[in-house]
Amino acid sequence: MAAKKHKPLGIAIVGCGTVGGATAALLTTDRNIIESKVTVPMELRYIVDVDFSHAREMGLDESLFTDSIDAPIGDADVQVIVELVGGVTFAKDVVEKALRAGKHVVTANKALLAYHGAELYALARENGVCIAFEASCAGGIPIIRPMNEGLAANRIDAMFGIVNGTCNFILTEMISKNKSYADSLADAQRDGLAEADPTLDVSGGDSAHKLAIMASLAFGKKIDFEKIPLAGIDTLELCDIGYGETLGYVIKLLAIAERQDDGVSLRVRPAFISKEHPLAWVSGPFNAVSVYGHATGHTMYYGRGAGAKPTASAVVADIISIGIGTAQRSFELLNIWADRCEPANQLAIDEVQSRYYMRITCADEPGVLAQIAAILGKHNISITSLLQHESPQSAATTVPVIITTDKAREGNVRKALAEIDALDVIKAESVCIGIVEEYPEEL
Amino acid sequence: MAAKKHKPLGIAIVGCGTVGGATAALLTTDRNIIESKVTVPMELRYIVDVDFSHAREMGLDESLFTDSIDAPIGDADVQVIVELVGGVTFAKDVVEKALRAGKHVVTANKALLAYHGAELYALARENGVCIAFEASCAGGIPIIRPMNEGLAANRIDAMFGIVNGTCNFILTEMISKNKSYADSLADAQRDGLAEADPTLDVSGGDSAHKLAIMASLAFGKKIDFEKIPLAGIDTLELCDIGYGETLGYVIKLLAIAERQDDGVSLRVRPAFISKEHPLAWVSGPFNAVSVYGHATGHTMYYGRGAGAKPTASAVVADIISIGIGTAQRSFELLNIWADRCEPANQLAIDEVQSRYYMRITCADEPGVLAQIAAILGKHNISITSLLQHESPQSAATTVPVIITTDKAREGNVRKALAEIDALDVIKAESVCIGIVEEYPEEL
């Protein structure tokens, strides 16, 4: 039995950069693909921008171009505004204007939702429309839908994500080619995989935006983005990557969310993860998110976390969901949206419980290890392995001592390392990197 | 703004084995998890079975037990029948009865859908209800939703799945412990990871059921399950796993679907896959499915493909989707369901184009390689590598020759090997295993 004909869904794209252009192409050049799958016609009616050079290069239909957001806002045949402007100022205006005009919003804007998600969801609800944002986290990977519906029967206990392709590419270069951070960054910039100013990526800020959005849905709690502790990859040294490797670990920039005690621990940082964990295999510009549900155990979602076409794929998936009405129902009938949730009890960084890797630079003298061990013991930190390597330089008077610990409270670890670093026999600031273990499944 | 109250969704579970019991537990014991996320109350009203020993052991509410399917069928407050009986006879009766009574159906029954999907979808449509089956493929992994909505903007070009946990466990044992197939199967049976009669799993039949369901959605075509060529893992020899490893490959039982020429090639078989491919890392009882979309490129979905709780997680996800109305809209407004699709042009096995691994057992004499190479050349098969190993036994008069080929047509490969095996210098039947390459992304 064939499906009956439906009224078209009118769409306006605001912002025609790489993602906007690819979205327009999926809706026009590739429209036969969508038409073969979806009975509701998708009608792109406007492309809004002030600069159409990219749109023209792509050969997009010029009759769709307008430089005024008011055109689609005033058009009763437009039901969806796609915000691909980026940033949190003009983009916020566009989204608010669209919602107030009773238009659904699709956005890829992670910063906007990390800062203003709850407020915008509430505004959407007041106006009887919804916001969909599959493209905001992990690009082309359908990761928002599992949080909402696919894993809906689960209490989600933890989430570990590699959600920044730039950082993962740089780390993969450092590991596989034994290149410094600076050289790897330069190569990423040359290949268009890192911005000229890479700060937002390499500092962990971009990963934290995504973590805030995903953790909010996963835990059904409002997340305060400003409270997520960040550490970036820009201070990582090659020698630690090497020592970690001999211990069976791979370094990754991880966005971490875990239930712990009565709260949730959220953090972004470079961390060691066992070579046996599927996330350890995720290399180059790829992204992946591991999600642990109490019933389903470990699930993982893998794919391209950025790029014009993968991101556009996620944008158009949301447009289609609005076209067939599933996005609206999920937005209306689930309770996981930040405007309907209590604030999460976000644990301070000192409360985090984790295993740790430490590299301590000691004078090559007797009795040093005893002093270090005594301080760790005093702070309730158990040592699980200790490697004292020979000094890399034959004439050196210092040696690196590599210690891994059992689970400990991060506050205690910081205090212990401050005491250790104050010893006369310690010749440089100690390095400390978290170790993420496979989350225990309850099954 | 809190969500308003909704009428409960009435549910009956038919079949209370391990999955049925775990589903009932998620809806009762763990109901606070669902209640915190979903504004529509989920009300389990009946558990239908003839034997309640498992249900009693689990401490499920005995007032729900009934041995008659007619109780929920006749209850106007039941909107969803969950079929967890298994098999294609009584289960089909249950599903048909439920659909005719205007009840939505949730099922985990891959065989039923592989054989009768199109017919049952049409019956559901006639009665204004839907069928949801997230749990039928890859257990707890939300894999059906990406096919339907998450990747809806994509022309899906290929799909490679490890979708049978029993086989993946056996192969992981063979590889990691260098144990024979028979010993690994015995261990899997001892650990409850293989049935007493493992035929359906190890023959590839179970994987083919899942492939038929997923490929139908991915390609938007009706699939004839009977036309899927099968090869199982039961004839694999350890030595081939070892030779493959030295060439950089891991053996996996793969369910493969590819667009090719004007048709689709579907097949289930043990195949070599590069160690660099994410599927190579999937070990033990885990499942994973790689899906290649024209816009999103490579995405992969990983998790537990079987087990009571993971499967129940997927069953309850479907119940929730029906509760909030998304499953109905997807079923009504997408065109990908087999009852709405043309039959796929399923290529015969001889038409498959693939790379191949061959092990040819030759007499240790001069001129043998020349004869083999001549026959391969005659059938348009290019050699990409050739390894002649020393014989494992010092006194042996035969040597194994390992050949990998460029892409070739399987029909040509079969003809060539038949000619090779007929040579006087060939001392045993040659072994031939497909090599699956990373699917080229279009991005």
Report the CATH number that the domain containing residue A230 is assigned in CATH. 3.30.360.10
Q: Report the C-alpha gap between B292 and A79 in whole angstroms.
A: 30
CA distances, B100 to each of A169, A384, B95, B117, B122 (Å) = 54, 63, 9, 16, 11
Q: How many helices (H) and strands (E) does chain A have?
A: 16, 16
B294 and B356 share one domain: no
Catalytic residue among A92, A103, A110, A210: A210
Q: Which of A38, A294, A333 sits opposite B152 (nearest CB)?
A: A38
B178 and B244 share one domain: yes
Q: Report the C-alpha gap between B230 and B253 in whole angstroms.
A: 10
Task: Tell me whether residues B329 and A325 touch, CB distance under 8 A.
Answer: yes
Does residue A395 or residue B168 have the better pLDDT?
A: B168
Q: Report the C-alpha gap between B23 and B26 in whole angstroms.
A: 5
Task: Tell me whether residues B3 and A332 touch, CB distance under 8 A.
Answer: yes
Residue of B nearest to A139 (CA): B296
| pLDDT (mean) for B14-37 | 97
Residue of B nearest to A325 (CA): B329
B149 and B253 share one domain: yes
Average pLDDT, chain A: 95
> Closest Cα of chain B to A290: distance in Å?
9
Question: Mutation test of the interface with chain A: which of B121, B134, B151, B318, choosing the one with the most A Cβ atoms within 10 A?
Answer: B151
B135 in any annotated domain:
no
* pLDDT confidence band for A9 (50 / 70 / 90): very high
Task: Using an 8 Å CB-CB cutoff, list chain B residues near A122.
Answer: 1
Instruction: Name the CA radius of gyration of chain B, rounded.
Output: 24
> Closest Cα of chain A to B306: distance in Å?
10
Task: Look up the ipTM and state it.
Answer: 0.96
> Closest Cα of chain A to B117: distance in Å?
14
pLDDT over threshold 90, residue B389: no
Catalytic residue among B92, B103, B110, B210: B210
Q: Report the C-alpha gap between B7 and B13 in whole angstroms.
A: 19
| pLDDT (mean) for B308-315 | 97
Task: Tell me whether residues A37 and B142 touch, CB distance under 8 A.
Answer: no
Tokens 């038919």 found at: B14
Query: Residue A437: what pLDDT?
Result: 87
Question: Mutation test of the interface with chain B: which of A33, A120, A290, choosing the one with the most B Cβ atoms within 10 A?
Answer: A33
Which residues have C-beta within 8 Å of that of residue A292, sequence separation ≥ 6? A156, A157, A158, A159, A298, A299, A439, A441
Cβ A26 vs Cβ A32: under 8 Å: no
* pLDDT confidence band for B2 (50 / 70 / 90): low
B24 in any annotated domain:
no
Burial bucket for residue A230 (CB in 10 Å: 0-12, 13-18, 19+):
middle
Task: Tell me whether residues A310 and B294 touch, CB distance under 8 A.
Answer: no
DSSP string over B19-37: HHHHHHHHHTTTHHHHHHH
Query: Residue B397: what pLDDT?
Result: 82
Q: Which of B40, B146, B321 sits opposite A142 (nearest CB)?
A: B146
Residue of A nearest to B218 (CA): A37
Task: Tell me whether residues B30 and A294 touch, CB distance under 8 A.
Answer: yes
pLDDT tens readout for residues A383-438: 999 998 666 666 678 899 999 999 999 999 999 999 999 999 999 999 999 999 88
* pLDDT confidence band for B391 (50 / 70 / 90): low
C-alpha neighbours within 13 Å on the C-beta side of residue A186:
5
Q: Report the C-alpha gap between A378 and A418 in whole angstroms.
A: 13
Task: Using an 8 Å CB-CB cutoff, list chain B residues near A312.
Answer: 153, 295
Give me the CATH number covering residue A362. 3.30.70.260
B132 in any annotated domain:
no
Q: Which of B37, B288, B443 sits opposite A336 (nearest CB)?
A: B37
Decide if B210 is catalytic.
yes
% of chain B residues with pLDDT over 70: 97
Task: Tell me whether residues A310 and B296 touch, CB distance under 8 A.
Answer: yes
Cβ A293 vs Cβ A299: under 8 Å: yes
Residue of B nearest to A314 (CA): B150
pLDDT tens readout for residues B125-144: 999 999 999 999 999 999 99
B402 and B278 share one domain: no
Question: Mutation test of the interface with chain A: which of B259, B299, B322, choosing the one with the most A Cβ atoms within 10 A?
Answer: B299
CA-wise closest residue to A288 among B144, B298, B158, B317: B298
| pLDDT (mean) for A133-145 | 96
Q: Which of B37, B304, B312 sits opposite A152 (nearest CB)?
A: B37
| DSSP 8-state code for residue A135 | G
> Closest Cα of chain A to B440: distance in Å?
14
A224 in any annotated domain:
yes
> Closest Cα of chain A to B279: distance in Å?
10
pLDDT tens readout for residues B276-289: 999 999 999 999 99
B206 and B274 share one domain: yes
The token pair that represents B330 in the structure block: 């997807």
Task: Tell me whether residues A30 and B330 touch, CB distance under 8 A.
Answer: no
| pLDDT (mean) for A276-283 | 95
pLDDT tens readout for residues B235-280: 999 999 999 999 999 999 999 999 998 899 999 999 999 999 999 9
Q: Which of A22, A334, A443 sits opposite B307 (nearest CB)?
A: A443
- pTM (global) more than 0.95: yes
Cβ B234 vs Cβ B204: under 8 Å: no
Task: Tell me whether residues B154 and A33 touch, CB distance under 8 A.
Answer: yes
% of chain A residues with pLDDT over 70: 97
Question: Mutation test of the interface with chain B: which of A149, A155, A332, choosing the one with the most B Cβ atoms within 10 A?
Answer: A149
Task: Using an 8 Å CB-CB cutoff, list chain B residues near A33.
Answer: 153-155, 294
pLDDT over threshold 80, residue A3: no
B63 in any annotated domain:
no
Task: Using an 8 Å CB-CB cutoff, list chain B residues near A22.
Answer: 295
A239 and A292 share one domain: yes
Element (H, E) at A204: none
Query: What's the domain range around A432?
Result: 349-436
> Closest Cα of chain B to A148: distance in Å?
9
Task: Tell me whether residues B140 and A301 touch, CB distance under 8 A.
Answer: no
Tokens 């039961």 found at: B234
How many domains would you assign to chain A? Answer: 2
Task: Using an 8 Å CB-CB cutoff, list chain A residues near B33.
Answer: 153-155, 294
- Backbone φ, ψ for residue A238 (5° rounding): -60, -35
B340 in any annotated domain:
no
pLDDT over threshold 80, residue A2: no
Task: Using an 8 Å CB-CB cutoff, list chain A residues near B30.
Answer: 153, 155, 294-295
A280 and A159 share one domain: yes
Query: Residue A391: what pLDDT?
Result: 63
Using the 3D structure, point to which of B239, B273, B303 is the last residue of a domain.
Answer: B303
* DSSP-assigned beta bridge partners for residue B42: B9
The amino acid occupying position B257 is: A
B369 and B294 share one domain: no
Task: Using an 8 Å CB-CB cutoff, list chain B residues near A108.
Answer: none
A255 and A369 share one domain: no
| pLDDT (mean) for A187-208 | 94
pLDDT tens readout for residues B397-431: 889 999 999 999 999 999 999 999 999 999 999 99
Q: Report the C-alpha gap between A277 and A289 in whole angstroms.
A: 12
Task: Using an 8 Å CB-CB cutoff, list chain B residues near A6.
Answer: 333
pLDDT tens readout for residues B68-118: 999 999 999 999 999 999 999 999 999 999 999 999 999 999 999 999 999
A375 and A269 share one domain: no
pLDDT over threshold 90, residue B302: yes
Q: Show the beta-strand stretches assigned E in A40-191.
A: 42-48, 65-66, 80-83, 104-107, 131-132, 156-162
Q: Which of A150, A155, A314 sits opposite B33 (nearest CB)?
A: A155
B378 and B298 share one domain: no
Cβ B106 vs Cβ B318: under 8 Å: yes
| pLDDT (mean) for A181-196 | 93
Task: Tell me whether residues A443 and B309 touch, CB distance under 8 A.
Answer: yes
| pLDDT (mean) for A263-267 | 96
B95 in any annotated domain:
no
Task: Using an 8 Å CB-CB cutoff, list chain A residues near B192.
Answer: none
Task: Using an 8 Å CB-CB cutoff, list chain A residues near B125.
Answer: 1
Query: Residue B192: what pLDDT?
Result: 87
A414 in any annotated domain:
yes
B287 and B228 share one domain: yes
| Total beta-carbon pairs less than 8 A apart between chain A and chain B | 249
| DSSP 8-state code for residue A138 | S
- Backbone φ, ψ for residue A182 (5° rounding): -60, -45
Using the 3D structure, point to which of B268, B287, B303 is the last residue of a domain.
Answer: B303
Q: Which of A293, A313, A325 sits opposite B296 (nearest CB)?
A: A313
pLDDT tens readout for residues A327-377: 999 999 999 999 999 999 999 999 999 999 999 999 988 889 999 999 999
Query: Residue A395: what pLDDT?
Result: 65
pLDDT over threshold 70, residue B1: no
Q: Which of A302, A325, A335 sits opposite B278 (nearest CB)?
A: A302
Q: Which of A151, A302, A312 sits opposite B313 (nearest CB)?
A: A151
Does residue A26 or residue B398 have the better pLDDT?
A: A26
Task: Using an 8 Å CB-CB cutoff, list chain B residues near A333.
Answer: 3, 6, 38-40, 323-325
CA-wise closest residue to A192 among A56, A107, A306: A306
